[in-house]
Structure formats: structure tokens, C-alpha cells
A and B are shown apart, each in its own frame.
Chain A
Amino acid sequence: MSERANNNLLYLNDVNVSFDGFKALRGLSLVIAEGEMRAIIGPNGAGKTTMMDVITGKTKPDTGDVYFGGDIDLTRRDEADIASLGIGRKFQKPTVFESHTVWDNLQLALSGKRSVFAALFHNTDAREQARIDEILETTRLGHLRNRLAGGLSHGQKQWLEIGMLLAQDPKLLLVDEPVAGMTDEETVQTATLLRRIAETRSVVVVEHDMTFVRDLGVKVTVLHEGSVLAEGSLDHVSADQKVIDVYLGR
């Protein structure tokens, strides 16, 4: 209990989730500090996506504690609540609103009131305009602002989604395989972008691409069969015999 109040943004303790007998998470424990950036790696089926589902309220854990910001019990909240608390999520497959323009996508993501009536009588003000322009600048999508999101390339959609996360202004950002399907150049740019984002908030990145994880240069957690196998710097975990067995032994 004392550990979770101790300057930790996210605290998972002994979380178990099973689907029809399949144990997706078994006793997963993880602590993310305020302002920390963490990379999570692991083979397929290690429970990376299930972990994100638990944090964002999509899946309720069978047992275990999930606390945010010290004392907010995330297992009692739903997706919309958790998003409003300040946890943003980027999916593996980029999901943007395809029949809206890039600008509209960012406006919808922008933090603010989420009620129906507030949205009905909402007027775009200069502050909002400036904030969206700033995000367009950061994500290099400025020249595409009036383009429909459905017409963007794969890499541009990934950036738009990261931009939407920035617009949400979350305290914690969960990013699922941000560079899947990107060119090498785009991968490098994305690493730079994520490092910049991590200057002001906590970020958890799930990724398969080892070069990318090395580019990020942060603490790494290795998941295997629903629990933590190793934790530390990339060099440290890649020297770990258990990790080598899991990755190379099969």
C-alpha cells in the first residue's frame, strides 16, 4: 500500500485475467513512476495488449489491484471515465475517424468537457485553434489539416493518432506498437516524437522492434506468459538467460 502512494503514477499488483480458462495475465505487477517512459517487450501472447485493456478499463481483472495517481481504483471505472482521468491509448492498428478531416480528428480529441450539451453548443475559440495548430506542427501534419483522415498513408495515420493523444493531454500515454508498418526513417522520427512527448508525461510503449526500443533508450520490462520475466536496461535484459530462452529457445 505504501508503495502505491509513493510518487507512482500507475501501480499494478498481482493482476490476474483469464478468458475461458486461458490465463492471459498471471500475477502481473508493474509500477510506472511519474514522468517515466517505459518500453514493454515480449513474445506474442505475453499479455501486453491485455495489460493495456486492463489499464484502460476495457477488461476487468479477475483479481488484483490497479491504481492510478496513487488512490484511484481503475478497476471500478469504465473506458470513458479512465480516459477523462488522463490515460490515453494508441492502438496497434491506427484508428482515426476516417470520414473526418485531420483537424476535426484533433478537435474531437482535445481535452475539455465531454457531455452532449457542451458539445452541441461548443464554439471553437482561439486558444483551441492555437493548441491544434501546435499539435499539427509537432506531428508534421500541418499541410494535411483539411485532408480526410481516411486518405492518409499508414505512417501519417499513426502520427495523427499520436497527435490525438497529445490533444487529450493525458498524464499517462499507452502506445501499442507505434512503428509497426513504418519505414526506417519514419521509425526514427517516431522515436524522437515519443521522447519529446515523454518530457512532460509518463509513457508506456509496447513494441516488437528492438532497434526502436534501443533508440528510445529507456527501462525495459519483458513480459512472458502474463507476468514480468525481467526488468532493467535493454542491455541488461538481453543478457538475461531467461529472456534469451523465451525469445530464442522456441
Chain B
Amino acid sequence: MATHRTQESLSPFETARAMSSLEPHAKDASYWASQMAAVSCRRDRDCFMRIYDHYAPRLRLYLRGIGSPEAVAEELAQEALLRLWQRAASYDATRSSLSTWLFRIARNLHIDRLRREPLWVPVDDEPGWPDRDEEGDVTSAESHAEQVDLRRRIERLPAVQARLIRMSYFEAKSHHEIASELAMPLGTVKSSLRRAFIRLQLGVRGQP
């Protein structure tokens, strides 16, 4: 391994950076899409377990980061991957990468776990994805290329924007929490996140 610091001393975001330079193309979105295709067409358990082996530890780490205790993170990561197996037929590689799909399931499971209202609607049923015709005809080749491109853009975010994105996605911190933790005006937090989002939008070409 090229990293000299131990992995525990790296934040998830730093590790993500180290990671992406270590194996840039070995296991990209198209690799996982092909594994997933085998799961949905053939119910291929080996392919599923390859997905499991890759994503289960990442999901557990992600869920702990956004506040799940260890045991809950383990349980929710298992549940997220089981849903992937159950709903494999509805996975559409042209709409989202496998990691986006898993991210969404894990986040929703985490939010549902925190809620106890009697009329709580599982977040899974929330409006979320644009209707197909709204998105246009995105071919899966395009979306794989866009995934690689998105990864590159994340690596190139200015330090402050990268930090706020990390605190949002990996620690589930609100604008208000970020503002008080970093002693930053709320307006600055919001405008930095806005700028980061604009830089990271897919399908927007020619931005640095």
C-alpha cells in the first residue's frame, strides 16, 4: 500500500482520496453494474457476494459516521445489502450507479431507524428519483464516464468545500451544526455547499 499513515488516522474523506488514486479503474461503476446485472438476471450469488464483500465494510463505516452505533450499523448494512438482493430486478444502471443506489438505501434505513412516529412513512417511499422521461436517455456508458468524472471533481474541490461536503455526507451535520463547529457564518456554509454542489453536478461539462 502506498499510504504510510495508518488507516485509522485518516478521515473517511482523506481515505477516499487515497483510495481513488490507488485503484483508479480496477473496480469502477461499470464493473459493479456488470456484477449487479448478473445478480438481477441470473440471481448469481457469487456476484452478489463480491458486491457484499466490497460494500458491506464501506456501508458499516458510513453508517457509523452518520451516527449509528456499531451494532446498528452492522444490522442496517446487512439490511441494505439484502434489499439489493431482493430488489435487484428494479435496479437500472442507466439511472444510478450501484454505489448511489446503496447510499440511498442505507441513508433511508438510517433515517427510518431514528423515527418512531405512528404515521411515519418509510423514507424509501418518498419522492426521490426523477421520472424516467425527465432524465432523458442517459446511456449506461455515459453514466459510467460521468461517475469517473464526478470522482475527479470531488478530488479537485477546494479544501473548505471538501470539508463541508464531508461533514454533510459522512457526519450528517446540518448547516447550523457545521456553522457553529467551524465558527463560520451560516450564510458562508450555505454558499460554500452551493458552490460545491454546482461543481459536482453531472452532465455539466467544462468546469474546472
A and B held together in a complex: no
Interface residues of A (CB under 8 A from B): none
Interface residues of B (CB under 8 A from A): none
